[in-house]
Amino acid sequence: MVLSMEVGSAGDIVHNDNIAPKRPGCDNNFVLVKVPTWVDGIETSEYVGVGARFGPTLESKEKRANHTRVVLADPPDYCSPPKQKLSGEIVLVHRGNCSFTTKANYAETAHASALLIINYRTELFKMVCEENETDIIIGIPTVMLPQDAGTILETDLKNNSKVSVQLYSPLRPLVDIAEVFLWLMAVGTILCASYWSAWTAREAALEQEKLLKDGSEETLHLEDAGPTGYVDINTTAAVLFVVIASCFLVMLYKLMSFWFVEVLVVLFSIGGVEGLQTCLVALLSCFRCFKQAGESYVKVPLLGAVSYLTLAVSPFCITFAVVWAVYRRDSLAWIGQDILGIALITTVLQIVRVPNLKVGTVLLSCAFLYDIFWVFVSKWWFHESVMIVVARGDRSGEDGIPMLLKIPRMFDPWGGYSIIGFGDIILPGLVVAFSLRYDWLANKKLKAGYFVWAMTAYGLGLLITYVALNLMDGHGQPALLYIVPFTIGTLLTLGKTRGDLKILWTRGEPERCCPHVRLEPCEDKDQD
C-alpha cells in the first residue's frame, strides 16, 4: 500500500521529445497511426504505426482515408534512386542505410502516395530530420510500422497477394466519460471512508467519556471485539514513507516480470478479501436482522475471536477474489478489480489515521516529492518514467499491476484505460478523514467545519489532474502534484484564518493537557 501511482491513461499516443527540436518542414507532432489492411480484398489485421515529424499530416477520420494498394520497394531500403515508377501506391521499405527523409524523397520522386517503413525492432521509433539535412519539404506522409507487422505485409506481397491499407490518425476526445466515473469513484470512496472513520472515532470517544464519568476501570478489549482498532501514523513514519516507497518501487521496476506480477495479484487478492469482508460486515451490521450475528463471536484456531457474520461472508469474499484472479484478463475484469480495490482502500482509511494536521502535512509533502521524482525526474537516471512503467506493467506481459482503479476509455478510438493508483486516494484520504473526525469531535457544524473544504479541495485537485492529463495528450501525470497543494493548502489557510491552526496542528500529540474527549481550548492559559 506504500505505492502511490500516477493518474494516467493506458495506451497513450507517442509524444514530442526535446532531443530533435522542431524546425520548418519538420514540425509535426508524433502521433499514432491506424493501419487496417486488406489482403485480396478481405479485411485482415489492423496495425499501429507512428507518423513522422516531416511530411503532411494524416487524415483523422476513417471514412475519409483512402484504400490504397501497397507495393514492395525496389531497392528494398530506398537509399538509391528507385527502379520502379508508381502511380499513387504506398511503398513498403526497410529502415536503415540512409536517413528517413532520403527514403521519403525517393518515394515522392517515384510518385508514391505514402511511405511505410518497417522498423528492425518490434517497437516504434520516432522519425525526425537529421541536423544537417536541407531537403525536408516532403509532400507525402511517412509512417513507421513495427517489425512484426511489416514482416507480415512483406510476406503477403511476396506471395503475390494484393495488399491495400488505410492510413489515418484519429483524435482522442478532450474528455472521456471514463474519467468522470473514475473521479466519482475516487471522491466517493474517500467520502464514505471518512464518514465511517469519523463514526467509529465518535463512538469510541463517547464510550471512553462514559467510562470516565462512571469511574470504571474497564478496558476495551479490541482484540475480542473484532477489527475495530486503528493505527496512528507519526512524523517519523511519514518521512520513512518516501524511503520505503522508493525502494519498493525500484524493486517493482527491476523485478517486473510475469511471475512477479502473479505474486502481486495474490497479495492484492488477499488484501481485497480482507477489505471486502470488513466492508460487508460493517454494512450488514447496520441491519437489525444481522446485528446479533455481527456481535456474536466464536473462537477460531489461529484467528482468535471471529463473529458469525464474518464467517458467513468470508466464503463469498474469497470466491469473488479467486474468480477475479482467474479471469482478470477478461474484458470485464476491471469491475472486480475496482470492487476489491475500493473495499481495500476504504478499510485502510478506516484503520490507518493521521492524528493531526502536522503529520498529515509531512506525509503528503513527502508523497508530493516522491510522486514528482518517480514520474518525471527518474527519466534522467532510468531513461524512462519508473512510475509509469510500473503502473502499466511494461515488460511483464500483463495489463498493468493490480494496485490501481481503472475504467476502460469508452469513446477513445485508441482504447486503453483511465487509471488512478491507490496511493492517490489513500494518502489524501487520510487527511480528509482526519478533518471530518475533528469536525465531529469538536462539535462543528458542516458549514463551519473543515471536511467540506477538504473534500472539495481534493475533488478540485483531482479534476485539475485530468485537465493536465488531457492537455498532455494522455501522458501520465503525478496526481499528487495537483492534489497535495489543494488539500493541504486549503486546510492550512482555513485553519489560520479561523484561528484553529494550532489545535489542528498538534491535536492528539502527548503534550495536550485536556484528557476530555471534546476538542475545546484548555482553561489553563499556560498550556495548549
How do residues 211-242 score in pLDDT, each as one tens digit? 777 655 444 443 444 444 678 888 998 888 88
Q: Name residues whose C-beta falls within 8 Å of residue 414's C-beta, 6 or more positions apart in sequence.
A: 11, 13, 32, 170, 172
pLDDT at 314 over 50: yes
Provide the pLDDT for residue 227: 44
CA dist., res. 273 & res. 314, Å (int): 8
Strand partners, 419: 8, 406
What's the pLDDT score for residue 395? 58
Report residue 3 as a C-alpha cell. 505505492
**What domains can be seen in the chain, in order of their start residue?**
14-165 (3.50.30.30), 177-212+228-507 (no CATH)
Amino acid at 134: T
Alpha carbons 233 and 509: distance in angstroms, whole number:
11
Instruction: Average the pLDDT over each of 44-53, 70-79, 196-205 and give the range with the smallest value.
Output: 196-205
- For the stretch 32-74, pLDDT in tens is 999 999 999 999 999 999 999 899 988 988 888 888 999 999 8
The one catalytic residue among 176, 412, 424, 439: 424
Cα–Cα distance, 99 to 133 (Å, whole number) = 9
pTM equals: 0.80
Q: Mean per-residue pLDDT for 440-444? A: 88
pLDDT at 345 > cutoff 90: yes
**CB–CB of 72/51 below 8 Å?**
no
Has 371 been annotated as catalytic?
yes
Q: Among 117-131, 267-281, 380-394, which is the least confidently predicted range?
A: 380-394
Residue 388's Cβ-side half-sphere holds a number of Cα atoms within 13 Å equal to 23
Joined together, the cell numbers standing for residue 108 give 515522392
- Amino acid at site 477: Q
Residues 6+ apart with CB under 8 A from 291: 285
- DSSP characters over 101-124: HHHHHHHHHTT-SEEEEE-SSSS-
Most confident of 265-269, 300-304, 444-448: 265-269
Give the integer Cα–Cα distance in Å for 165 and 262. 39
Is the model more confident about 386 or about 368?
A: 368
Among 12, 176, 338, 371, the active-site one is 371
> All 3 cell numbers of residue 458?
481534493
pLDDT at 519: 45
β-bridge pairing 304-307 and 297-300: antiparallel
* Residue 527 confidence (pLDDT) above 80: no
**Taking all residues of the chain, what is their mean pLDDT, rounded to a whole number?**
84
The dihedral formed by the CA atoms of 90, 94, 96 and 101, expressed in degrees to the nearest 10: 0
> String of b and e for 224-236 (b: at least 16 CB within 10 Å)?
eebbeeeeebbbe
pLDDT confidence bin for 483, thresholds 50/70/90: very high
383: left (phi over 0), alpha (psi -120 to 50) or beta: left
H-assigned helices in 352-385: 357-372, 378-382
What pLDDT score does 511 carry?
A: 39
What pLDDT, on a 0 to 100 scale, did the predictor assign at position 473?
59
Active-site residue, 232 included? no
